Amino acid sequence: MSCFRGDPNFCPECGNVLPLPGVSDTVRCPRCSFRIPVTEFSGQEVRSVVVFNPAEESQVSLRDEEGSELKGPVIDRRCSRCNKEGMIYHTRQMRSADEGQTVFFTCTHCRFQEKEDS
């Protein structure tokens, strides 16, 4: 008895994504021993959609206490001070060129700043 039902793109035995049909007359699950004839995929159409976040939602512009503007992309990073999600980041090359750059993070809520050397 199969554990999974529904979408023919997934293995009905283990739930793994099945590879696209190729030159072989069967499609074999790479995770378990399940096999299905290629003819089962006859007439099916594969479509994929990529949805990007709107630029307005991924960029923030804030003013700090001195009146200077903070700009940059917002990432899902938790602030170590206020524990809320959402930080602006920017990078700088602070050391020699053969070393990694430094990433500066600013919380969008409390404006706490932290850095990370890579």
Q: What pLDDT is attached to residue 54? A: 67
Q: What pLDDT is attached to residue 98? A: 86
Helix (H) or strand (E) holding 28: strand 26-28
Instruction: Identify the band that residue 96 occupies on the pLDDT scale cut at 50, 70 and 90.
Output: confident
Enter the pTM of the model: 0.47
Q: What pLDDT is attached to residue 95? A: 82
Residue 3 among known ligand-binding residues: no
pLDDT > 90? residue 100:
no
Instruction: Identify the band that residue 103 occupies on the pLDDT scale cut at 50, 70 and 90.
Output: very high
d(CA 36, CA 39): 8
Instruction: Identify the band that residue 55 occupies on the pLDDT scale cut at 50, 70 and 90.
Output: low
Residue 107 among known ligand-binding residues: yes
